[in-house]
């Protein structure tokens, strides 16, 4: 495998297939023109469009990652709150039940 001659220069195998497909199908660019412009680093509308779309896709993926992390944290917090509330209610219920059984037991012994 050959290395790219310059760090900022892309090879044809490094190009995003989804961006290329979008540019050809939706924006009516010629595939060969896009590949040639981007790999040769020639200023053109095809190269500008490719790099702008690549930035947009990168930003979108980062946002999705951040949102999924935020959702996981929110779910964990809500889950913890639910378990804490459930345990508090359970403890309160058992305390009431214990008081009732003590009162009921006292009432039963008083009636005998």
Prediction pTM value: 0.57
Sequence-separated (6 or more) residues with CB below 8 Å from residue 83: none
pLDDT tens-digit profile, the chain (112 residues): 455 456 667 788 889 999 999 999 999 999 999 999 999 888 999 999 999 999 999 988 888 888 777 666 666 666 666 666 666 777 777 777 666 665 555 555 555 5
Sequence-separated (6 or more) residues with CB below 8 Å from residue 14: 4
d(CA 79, CA 22): 41
Sequence-separated (6 or more) residues with CB below 8 Å from residue 44: 33, 37
d(CA 21, CA 29): 10
């Amino acid at each position: 495998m050959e290395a790219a001659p310059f760090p900022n220069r892309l090879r044809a195998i490094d190009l995003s297939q989804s961006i290329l497909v979008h540019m050809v199908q939706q924006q009516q660019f010629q595939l060969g023109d896009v590949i040639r412009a981007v790999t040769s680093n020639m200023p053109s509308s095809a190269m500008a469009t490719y790099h702008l779309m690549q930035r947009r896709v990168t930003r979108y993926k980062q946002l999705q990652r951040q949102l999924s992390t935020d959702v996981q944290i929110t779910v964990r917090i809500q889950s913890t709150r639910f378990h804490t509330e459930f345990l508090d209610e359970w403890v309160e219920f058992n305390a009431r039940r214990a008081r009732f059984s003590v009162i009921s037991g006292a009432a039963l012994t008083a009636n005998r």
